Structure 1
């Protein structure tokens, strides 16, 4: 008798079935969960958007992919990078800071007026950073101690700072201090004809310090905890009160430093400088994936947001026939899209 051998197909749970297909399904599931996550999803979308608009610019305009164009994105937006870092701290706690544009202008016009009066840059720059940090401290105290809404407190600080600009001078003040001018105009060679300014170095250092603080320090953990649930942070014994005040001090410091970097860029101080720049900073942070309600977001995401805005401005510059107001139109459209994306992702999370 010849024996008949039968072959039993593997069941779905058997080892032979749990091969590459299941691994691929699990990997696809992890990718899908990441894209749907309110923590990582918006950041990945922003990174993809940055790559897309850069490719569009590179295929449409000759020389767009050059190294100097890429470096100029950082040179032209160094001050906005620093401003966005401070704004990221505030928005992560669920707050907002509308005063940063006016504080930037105040920083620039005080710097220009003091340098014109003969003060040394080594004295002026630390003094500006202290003054803007103190202004941030006052805002933080208004928010925490007196329970003033961040929108109202920072709006008041915005009017105060902008008013002080007009008190100091209604006209543009040129900076001619030789040390300051030499520092502003100094270029760091990167090879070939490519070079960058010291403003970029300062902005990168600020970004690195902010990343370390938010990801690896108790202050950073408390910032995220406040944005997630302030009451839970209090119950866990975290220094909520001190941190809520400190984030506005950080924002004031960054706004002051941003003003100094802006004076490096323009070599002047003017009371009308940076009108609406606070909205650019907020847009960059939101487009970079930080939730307006707080709790989720990354500094590097804000950097991506700034670069997206910079690439859009560069494309409009290369086009040559479009008004600069198209930048505002595109920023507004992107901001609306990302706010809707945040709402969708947080709704799914619940």
Structure 2
């Protein structure tokens, strides 16, 4: 009976993440008045939505054994590209309606990610170098689209109801994040695409010998990462009614940290999208603690995140030795 209840080694990172989240939330709830309120909960998810969207795409990438350093830059590019598409010609834009501009931006972000996936797969290039080049390219294109790094979308009536929209206290970014999260959880666990992602991360050579579509799936994985990042950029542009070429700076590192803290192995093949949600919440709680403390330097959040990363990377190494 005890043996039957013993968790499998691949589940241990997720259990560790749950333990850290419960402990962190309990301490914060006891220390800070109002921390457990519904308003604080919805605000935490809303503030974490851009990071969460990037982390969802990053989860699939890391599950496959890859990495994507371009997501923060793609968010910035998508926001500024949407603004450029929608502003008038007197501001150097294309004066597109929102129902045309938004799908165009999402398509470009998806194509950008898929192109990096094609380079990685068919030219046998390291994901680190390809996505690093993609990061510089996307950020450079964003900076080149405006003279002062920011482009305001003026007189856009379709954005006003979206900015003011609330459902049970959740705003549009929070709802989009939660909806895409649920969809990603389903895709990762109950579709052929999800199973192939795990197979590639577990052992790419074995997956290839089994006749699985490695090439197509790799392209789809990075296209999905680009799509998630571009959705984050669109939501930022809607919320701020502007595009910003400097937004999302170093967000790719936070996304990687979130996925790792969420229990996904950097070597691929082990992890869950649900764990990424837990990682997002952990980083979100750590980020808002200085606000409650008042006199605490915000750089302590980076120190705490770094400490957690060391802890989880060490735990991953021990787990890998047990699995092997």
Under TM normalisation by the shorter chain, which class is it?
A: over 0.9
What is the deviation of 1:181?
A: 3.0
Pairing 1:102–2:68 present:
no
CA distance in structure 1 between the partners assigned to 2:245 and 2:172 by the alignment: 24
Correspondence for 2:152 among 174, 196, 199: 174
Map residues 113-192 of structure 1 onto 2, 5 A cutoff: 113-117=84-88, 118-171=95-148, 172-176=150-154, 177-188=156-167, 190=168
Unaligned runs of 5+ in 1: 1-22
Q: Distance in 2 between matches of 1:208 and 1:26?
A: 32
Matches within 5 A, 1:15-94: 23=1, 25-26=2-3, 30-31=5-6, 33-34=7-8, 37=9, 39-94=10-65
- Bigger radius of gyration: 1
- Say which SS state the counterpart of residue 70 (structure 1) adopts: helix
Native 8 Å contact 1:199 1:264 kept in 2: no
TM-score scaled by length of structure 2: 0.94
The answer to whether the 8 A contact 1:78-1:261 is kept is no
**Contact in 2 for aligned 1:88/1:299 (Cα 8 Å):** yes
Partner of 2:187: 213
Show the counterpart of 1:237. Answer: 211
Q: What SS does the aligned partner of 2:158 have?
A: helix
3-state SS of 1:173 partner: strand
Distance across 1 between alignment mates of 2:176 and 2:35? 25
How many angstroms apart in 2 are the aligned matches of 1:181 and 1:124?
Answer: 16
Q: Report the equivalent of 1:249.
A: 223
- Measured after TM superposition, the shift of residue 329 of structure 1 is 1.5
Q: Give the stretch that moved more between structures: 265-274 or 225-234.
A: 265-274
Separation in 2 of the partners of 1:167 and 1:275? 16
* In 1, Cα distance between equivalents of 2:52 and 2:116: 22
Task: Provide the rounded CA distance (Å) in 2 between the counterparts of 1:174 and 1:317.
Answer: 29
Q: Which residue of 2 aligns with 1:342?
A: 316
How far did 1:115 drift? Answer: 2.3
Instruction: Note if 1:298 corresponds to 2:272.
Output: yes
Q: Deviation at 1:261? A: 1.8
1:125-170 deviations in whole A, cap 9, x for unaligned? 1001100111111101110111110000000110100100111014
Post-superposition Cα deviations, 1:163-197, rounded to whole Å, max 9, x if no partner, equal: 00111014222233121132122222x2xxxx111
Distance 1:275 1:170, change over 3 A: farther
Higher mean C-alpha deviation, range 264-273 or range 78-87: 264-273
Question: How big is the shift at 1:264?
Answer: 3.3
**CA distance in 2: counterparts of 1:43 and 1:174, whole angstroms:** 42
- Any idea what the Cα deviations from partners look like across 1:295-339, whole Å, max 9, x if unmatched? 001101001100100011122211111222222111111111111
Match of residue 16 from structure 1: none
The number of residues matched between the two structures is: 316
Note the C-alpha offset of 1:110: 1.0
